[in-house]
Amino acid sequence: MSSTRRPVNCITPPHLLQKLLESDDQDIRRAALNTLLSNAHLRGERAVRATLAGAITAPDNGRRTIFDCQNRTFLPTAVMVRSEDEAESTDNSVNQAFDGLGTTRQFYRDVHNRNSIDSRGLRLQGYVHRGTNYNNAFWDGQAMVFGDGDGRIFTDFTGSLDVIAHELTHGVTEHTAGLEYHNQPGALNEHISDVFGSLVKQWSLKQSAAEADWLIGSEVFTPGIEADALRSLKAPGNAYDNSIFGKDPQPDHMSKFVQRPDTDEGDNGGVHINSGIPNKAFYLTAVSIGGFAWEAPGHIWYESLNASSVRTQFQEFADTTYFKAEELYGAGSTEQQAVLDAWREVGIRISGVPAAAAARAAGDGLTALTRQIEALSAEVNELTKEVQAFTAGK
């Protein structure tokens, strides 16, 4: 034991407590977990995650555990109130969080053959009743944390399945592309969470793309607030417009990209703002292809997420979706054409696509010819520059 630690005198050694976490007896598991949490609390919150990482996050097919923060913000003091094999709680927030984690887990397993957030069975933990009047829910890297809302603008965040799936999908992104949470990569990070947040809800309701509402967080507002939702993938910029917090600022086209400083005050470069652009592209792709959006569109996007990286920008992601559509459904397929059209509608032209192919989608012969000439002119200009450079170097 490190000499820099404050001494914590515990009778039961940690390795034994961790073993007890695997017990078939839920009372034994609960007691062991609460003891580990109490011990970690005594060593300070910043050490908690490391202390519990091995015990709590051991692969276990996404086993669920819900904790009640009892309105505190210090998570290690939360009390475990429901685990995977236990019956419903009398607390509706506990049950909603439990169910939401389960539905999201099932979605990723059934649709993407993914074993929990990390594809290795990461246990799913939810912390409800966090803080006082806390208007938020977030994924902290290992667990999902829910607020009750202030009762004035927002209500209990466990009541929204797409919010739960949105936050858990941040974990999926963390374990795949790792998109950095600022500027365009951050907006893509938010976009991916909005897409799969909506898809989990659609999948749970067996709704087609045409039937879906494409809203994120429609259940988080109190009844008196005039707002459809936090965001709309179908109509970015139209989720709300009221006197309390104004109009939804999301753009639906690259020409309306919002420049925000990369600061806390600037929403890290507008990650929750500019996600509207790729959100609209996904919606357009889904309704164009038709049927269930978690099928072809969802698979294209999931594979594109897996093929992306920490600094992927909008253009690169769009290009990836186009080429993933080809890989999955064939060159010139309906799916690939839908992806091409959707990105063009939001102002992003897929790189390397022959102008004629893009123009065919527009259905305008003169436009196709014009674009072909433009593309050829650009190639001639490039060749001219190369020749000049070669000549100058001789």
- In the bound state with another protein, the residue whose beta carbon lies nearer, of 176 and 336, is 176
Which residue type is seen at 67? F
- In the bound state with another protein, the residue whose beta carbon lies nearer, of 26 and 242, is 242
Q: Is 139 a residue that touches another protein (CB under 8 A)?
A: yes
Distance between CA atoms of 72 and 130, rounded to whole angstroms?
6
What is the total count of residues that contact another protein (CB under 8 A)? Answer: 48
Q: Is 145 a residue that touches another protein (CB under 8 A)?
A: yes
Q: Is 211 a residue that touches another protein (CB under 8 A)?
A: no
Q: Which region, judged by CB under 8 A, interacts with another protein, from 23-31, 62-70, 161-169, 290-298?
A: 161-169
Outline where DSSP puts E strands in the chain. 64-68, 79-83, 124-128, 137-139, 144-146, 215-216, 231-232, 241-242, 246-247
- In the bound state with another protein, the residue whose beta carbon lies nearer, of 70 and 388, is 70
Q: Is 338 a residue that touches another protein (CB under 8 A)?
A: no
Cα torsion 159, 162, 218, 70 to 10°: value is: 30
Distance between CA atoms of 285 and 208, rounded to whole angstroms?
13
| Residue selected from 21, 124, 188, 273 as contacting another protein according to rule CB under 8 A | 273
Helix 183-205, helix 276-289: angle, nearest 10: 40
Distance between CA atoms of 317 and 301, rounded to whole angstroms?
9
Which among 225, 224, 317, 325 is positioned nearest to 274, based on CA atoms? 317
| Residue selected from 2, 9, 13, 264 as contacting another protein according to rule CB under 8 A | 264
| Residue selected from 96, 176, 198, 250 as contacting another protein according to rule CB under 8 A | 250
The catalytically annotated residue of 41, 129, 170, 272 is: 272
Is residue 248 within 8 A of residue 240, CB to CB? The reply is yes
Q: Is 163 a residue that touches another protein (CB under 8 A)?
A: yes
Q: Is 223 a residue that touches another protein (CB under 8 A)?
A: no
Distance between CA atoms of 198 and 384, rounded to whole angstroms?
49
Window 164 to 183, contacts with another protein (CB under 8 A): 166-167, 170, 173, 180-182
- In the bound state with another protein, the residue whose beta carbon lies nearer, of 186 and 298, is 186
How many CB atoms are closer than 10 A to CB 124? 28
Which residue type is seen at 336? Q
| Residue selected from 67, 108, 127, 154 as contacting another protein according to rule CB under 8 A | 154
DSSP state of 139: E
Q: Which region, judged by CB under 8 A, interacts with another protein, from 14-22, 86-94, 189-197, 324-332?
A: 189-197
226 is catalytic: no
| Residue selected from 148, 156, 267, 335 as contacting another protein according to rule CB under 8 A | 267
170 is catalytic: no
Q: Is 136 a residue that touches another protein (CB under 8 A)?
A: yes
Sorted by sequence, the CB contacts under 8 Å of residue 241 that are 6+ apart come out as 226, 247, 248
Which residue type is seen at 392? A
Which among 201, 187, 199, 177 is positioned nearest to 277, based on CA atoms? 187
- In the bound state with another protein, the residue whose beta carbon lies nearer, of 250 and 321, is 250
Annotated active-site positions, please? 167, 272
Q: Interface with another protein by CB under 8 A: which residues? A: 45, 72-74, 131-133, 135-141, 145, 150, 153-154, 157, 163, 166-167, 170, 173, 180-182, 189-190, 193, 217, 220, 230-231, 240, 244-246, 248-250, 264-265, 267-268, 271-273
